[in-house]
């Protein structure tokens, strides 16, 4: 698989474009994403499953960049959504709702109604009360909607407790043993057509074994359900395929497909996949500029202009992201440093105790593997505007999102009339 980001001619390039030139032109912090890498990953995954009836749904919570969504919609890929807001974004790019799955433990009536009206493919139901709520919504609209139940196979997988989802004490899914009862009760819900099983065992899983174990449990369950007279046509295995952050060697899509093939052989199920990170994680970097280098007796800090509000993964999950100099300085001294941002939190770091060639103020650094759960988790903490985003394809690039301005940070807010400062008092000290 081609590397989207590589040093050529002394400078980091995103496909054919100099990252240094992008940073100069569009400022930092800057998310730079390779469209080529993203589409190549999608096509490779899709190809690996050739011969197994399947459909791929991009889990857009990983990256909701409009350019990426549009490009993927053109490829005919579907989407896995978790909110009305995500559906709205898909509609903004003209993606076909008939290729959309709606997951999540807390769908509201309004969200379910919007999705049902749009004519999405399927709802992934995560609790019995949700099934009843969806039935009410569908009845009111006079429609029948398709659904599956998200079952919890009680398989432990995932790189970090916060992204491990399928053990039995997780808020996600329904207990495995309840499935027959749920399918039976769902027959009384006349506006639901429950035809599948959904599961998602966790994220950043680098081996095939947990997927195979979960798929086997699901296929067993389908047999039981069919024996009870239920029609089950789809098995959604969720996302979770891992990527290389720190030298991991995650299972390839071909290995994943080869391991699942025997499990699915003869099962007469259409396989749904919901990859997020696998498609987009290594398609993006976060480019930042070094502001200061602070050396102390205990620790050295490289202070950059990106922070936890731009990329929260290191702070939240102790995630390890590679850090590359955009223009390496041959011969620079190497030291262990913390790469930190300007946010007022000791948890605000992009890397800790990292052996790096010590940069100079003004140098550019690229934080690797920032394409998944990067920009989508950005916030305005410390009243920092969110970064700009650039999409690269070959030698071309487009700004798909401009940098937020300070005025953007005030959008939608107001001071209550009674608390407003009289014009004469503005900018004056209230108490002398
Ligand atoms: N399907 C379902 C039902 C999910 O809950 C998720 C992710 C996916 C698919 C996509 O999973 P992926 O292929 O990306 O592993 N913010 C965390 C990851 C949270 C994942 C949430 N669910 C992180 O930065 O690691």
* DSSP secondary structure code for residue 9 in this structure: T
Which residue's C-alpha comes closest to atom 6 of ligand 1?
A: 239
Q: Is the CB of 148 under 6 A from ligand 1?
A: no
Q: Any idea where the domains of the chain sit in the sequence?
A: 5-32+281-410, 64-275
Measured in angstroms, how far is the CA atom of residue 61 from the centroid of ligand 1?
A: 7
pLDDT-derived band at 162 (thresholds 50, 70, 90) equals low
Distance 276 CA to ligand 1 centre (A): 6
Given a cut of 80, whether residue 306 has pLDDT beyond it is: yes
Q: How far apart are CA 69 and CA 92, in angstroms?
A: 10
Please, which residues have CB within 8 angstroms of residue 216's CB and are 6 or more apart in sequence? 263
pLDDT in tens, 255-274: 999 999 999 999 999 999 99
In a mutational test of the pocket of ligand 1, which residue from 123, 125, 205, 277 has the highest number of ligand atoms less than 8 Å from its CB?
277
63 lines ligand 1 (CB under 6 A): no
pLDDT tens profile 178-221: 999 999 999 999 999 999 999 999 999 999 999 999 999 999 99
Query: Does ligand 1 lie within 6 Å of residue 277's CB atom?
Result: yes
371 lines ligand 1 (CB under 6 A): no
What is the atom index within ligand 1 of the atom nearest the CA of 372? Answer: 24
Task: Tell me the three state secondary structure of residue 240.
Answer: coil
What is the rounded CA–CA span in Å between residue 63 and residue 220? 34
For 66-88, write each residue's pLDDT tens digit: 999 999 999 999 999 999 999 99
Ligand 1 pocket residue status of 103, Cβ below 6 Å: yes
281 lines ligand 1 (CB under 6 A): no
Residue of the CA atom closest to atom 8 of ligand 1:
239
Condensed to tens digits (0 to 9), the pLDDT of residues 103-140 reads 999 999 999 999 999 999 999 999 999 999 999 999 99
| CA of 202, closest atom in ligand 1 | 15
Range 238-250 burial, b when 16+ CB lie within 10 A, else e: bbbbbbebeeeeb
Catalytic residues: 344
Confirm or reject: Cβ of 374 under 6 Å from ligand 1: no
Question: How far is 419 from 417, CA to CA, in rounded Å?
Answer: 5
Q: Is the pLDDT assigned to residue 2 strictly greater than 60? A: no
**278 Cα: distance to centroid of ligand 1 (angstroms):** 10
Ligand 1 centroid to residue 84 C-alpha, Å: 17
Closest alpha carbon to 232 in 189, 162, 182: 182
CB distance 278 to ligand 1 below 6 Å: yes
Confidence band, pLDDT 50/70/90 cuts, at residue 425:
confident
Cβ(275) – ligand 1 distance below 6 Å: yes
Spatial distance between the Cα atoms of 140 and 190, rounded to a whole number of angstroms: 12
Mean pLDDT (the chain, rounded): 95
Q: Which long-range contacts (CB under 8 A, 24 or more apart) does 173-178 make?
A: 173/126, 173/198, 173/199, 173/200, 174/126, 174/127, 174/128, 174/149, 174/150, 175/151, 176/151, 176/152, 176/217, 176/221
Cβ proximity of 199 and 238 under 8 Å: yes
Q: Residue 102 is encoded by which pair of tokens? A: 């709606």
pLDDT at position 171: 85
Give Cα separations from 400 to 19, 33, 68, 259 (angstroms): 16, 10, 9, 38
Q: Kindly state the greatest CA–CA separation across the chain.
A: 83
Residue nearest to atom 19 of ligand 1 (CA): 163
pLDDT at 101 over 90: yes
> CATH classification of 64-275 is 3.40.630.10, yes or no?
no
Q: What is the DSSP string of 341-378?
A: -SSSSTT-EEEEEEEEEPP-TT-EEEESS-SSSSGGG-
pLDDT grade, residue 160 (50/70/90)?
A: low
pTM comes to 0.96
Look at residues 386, 381, 385, 374 and name the one whose alpha carbon lies nearest to residue 350: 374
pLDDT score for 1: 43
Ligand 1 pocket residue status of 62, Cβ below 6 Å: yes
Calpha distance 260→251 (Å, rounded): 12
For residue range 5-50, what is the model confidence (pLDDT) as tens digits? 999 999 999 999 999 999 999 999 999 999 999 999 999 999 999 9
Query: Residue 373 pLDDT > 90, yes or no?
Result: yes
Share of the chain above pLDDT 70, in %: 96
| Nearest Cα residue to atom 16 of ligand 1 | 373
Is residue 182 within 8 A of residue 134, CB to CB? The reply is no
CATH 3.40.630.10 fits 5-32+281-410, yes or no: no
Mean pLDDT, range 364-377, rounded to an integer: 98
Report the separation in Å between the CA atom of 297 and the middle of ligand 1, taken as the mean of its atom positions: 40
431's tokens: 């108490």
d(CA 39, CA 371): 13
The pick from 56, 60, 61 for probing ligand 1's pocket by mutation, whose C-beta has the most ligand atoms within 8 angstroms, reads: 61
Looking at the CA of residue 316, tell me the nearest atom of ligand 1.
24
């Amino acid at each position: 698989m081609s590397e989207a980001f590589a040093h050529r001619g002394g400078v980091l390039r995103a496909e054919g474009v100099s990252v240094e030139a992008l940073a100069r032109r569009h400022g930092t912090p800057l998310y730079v994403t390779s469209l080529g890498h993203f589409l190549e990953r999608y096509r490779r995954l899709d190809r690996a499953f050739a011969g197994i009836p399947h459909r791929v749904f991009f889990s857009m919570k990983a990256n909701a960049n409009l350019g990426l969504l549009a490009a993927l919609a053109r490829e005919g890929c579907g989407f896995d959504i978790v909110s009305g807001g995500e559906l709205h974004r898909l509609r903004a790019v003209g993606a076909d709702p008939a290729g959309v799955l709606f997951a999540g433990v807390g769908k509201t009536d309004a969200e379910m109604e919007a999705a049902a009206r749009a004519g999405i493919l399927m709802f992934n139901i995560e609790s019995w009360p949700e099934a009843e709520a969806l039935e009410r919504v569908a009845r009111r609209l006079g429609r029948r909607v398709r659904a599956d139940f998200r079952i919890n196979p009680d398989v432990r997988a995932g790189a970090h407790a916060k992204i491990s989802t399928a053990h039995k004490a997780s808020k996600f899914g329904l207990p495995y043993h309840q499935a027959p009862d749920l399918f039976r009760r769902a027959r009384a819900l006349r506006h639901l057509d429950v035809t599948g099983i959904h599961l998602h065992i966790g994220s950043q899983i680098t081996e095939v074994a947990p997927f195979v174990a979960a798929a086997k449990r699901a296929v067993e369950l389908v047999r039981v359900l069919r024996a009870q007279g239920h029609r089950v046509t789809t098995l959604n295995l969720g996302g979770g395929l891992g990527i290389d952050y720190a030298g991991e060697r995650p299972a390839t899509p071909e290995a994943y497909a080869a391991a699942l093939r025997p499990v699915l052989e003869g099962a007469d199920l259409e396989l749904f996949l919901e990859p997020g990170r696998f498609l987009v994680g290594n398609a993006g970097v976060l480019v930042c500029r070094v502001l200061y280098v602070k050396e102390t007796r205990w620790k050295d800090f490289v202070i950059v202009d990106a922070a936890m509000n731009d990329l929260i993964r290191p702070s939240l999950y102790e995630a390890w992201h590679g850090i590359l100099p955009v223009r390496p300085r041959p011969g620079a001294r190497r030291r262990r440093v913390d790469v930190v941002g300007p946010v007022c939190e000791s948890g605000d770091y992009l890397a800790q105790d990292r052996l790096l060639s010590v940069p100079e103020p003004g140098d550019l650094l690229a934080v690797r593997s920032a394409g998944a759960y990067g920009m989508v988790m950005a916030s305005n903490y410390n009243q920092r505007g969110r970064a700009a985003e650039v999409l690269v394809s070959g030698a071309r690039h487009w700004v798909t999102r401009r940098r937020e301005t300070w005025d953007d940070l005030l959008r939608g807010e107001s001071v209550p009339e009674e608390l407003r400062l009289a014009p004469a008092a503005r900018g004056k000290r209230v108490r002398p």
